[in-house]
Amino acid sequence: MKKNILILGSEGQIGNHLKEYLTNKKFKVFEFDLLRSKKEDLRLYQNKNLISKVKNSDFIFFFAFDVGGSRYLKKYQNTYKFISNNIQLMENTFQVIKKYKKPFLFASSQMSNMSYSTYGLLKHIGEKYTEMLGGIVVKFWNVYGIEKDLKKSHVITDFVLMALKDRKIKMLTDGKEKRDFLYAEDCCSGLYQILNNYNKIKSFKKSVDLTTGKYTNIIEIAKIIQKILKKEKIFVNIQPSNNFDSIQLDKKNKPNMFIKKYWKPKHSLQSGIEKVIKYYYK
């Protein structure tokens, strides 16, 4: 019998793709996101809508977080509101999960061990909650794909939109920093495998890194977009900056690729970017 799945943050970068993926797999998916309704605000203490959906769920994907791409984090992560939003939504949500003892997955970040980052520090707190409640932490690097909330968009979406609109990619840095990128559809297939093998994986690992293990310079991302659009007779100028990466400080972690026992991505970086461009190039 198929499980009832609750996705907290169902309108976000990962949740929005996962709800469609699991629906196509014939799961009953419960959506929950502030963008859908003010009644679905996880900052509300003893949220009756949350309690109802948790009680009726067999598994919970906890993606909800006040977060966005580097532009968003640079502007907001060191503000009272950013910290308060995330502390409140974690405390309220974990309380309900604890009460009803539901199996769950908490979406963290490879930045969770970077204590100079407010975002990373908050994700680390979420990992501690998850550890205490017996869930699985899944750490993401940089998941990319179609994004609905462009105020919180990430680097690949930003570059594609700039290229299509302005015929130039104006970078925040010199582009030398390296990142590991995972296409959203591959991310969903990985989460599906974690769901199907939850107890088995939990017996070996309390934390799983869901990523490709392949690093690419940010400026190479811009060049891939430039090359793809050139075939469409769209000529894009790349404009690096003299600034350095103040969000991650060019630090990176080496992922534990334990997940490869159950999953591997299908998309190359270029094929994933091509799909993103195709969506926005209308």
User: pLDDT band at 246, cuts 50/70/90?
Assistant: low
Statement: residue 16 has pLDDT above 90: yes
Helices 269-280 + 155-166 axis angle, to 10: 50
Residues 66, 145: Cα–Cα separation, whole Å: 19
Domain span holding position 230: 4-280
Q: What pLDDT is attached to residue 90?
A: 98
Q: How many Cβ atoms sit within 10 Å of the Cβ of residue 79? A: 11
CATH code at 188?
A: 3.40.50.720
Radius of gyration (Cα) for the chain, nearest Å? 19
Statement: residue 1 has pLDDT above 80: no
Mean pLDDT for all residues in the chain: 93
Cα torsion angle, 66, 138, 147, 3, sign? negative
pLDDT per residue as tens digits for the range 59-94: 999 999 998 888 888 889 999 999 999 999 999 999
- 67 backbone dihedrals φ, ψ, rounded to 5°: -155, 165
pTM of the model: 0.92
Structural domain count, the chain: 1
- 95 backbone dihedrals φ, ψ, rounded to 5°: -60, -45
- 125 backbone dihedrals φ, ψ, rounded to 5°: -60, -45
The stretch 36-65 carries a mean pLDDT of 96
Residues 33, 134: Cα–Cα separation, whole Å: 24
Statement: residue 247 has pLDDT above 70: no
Statement: residue 248 has pLDDT above 70: no
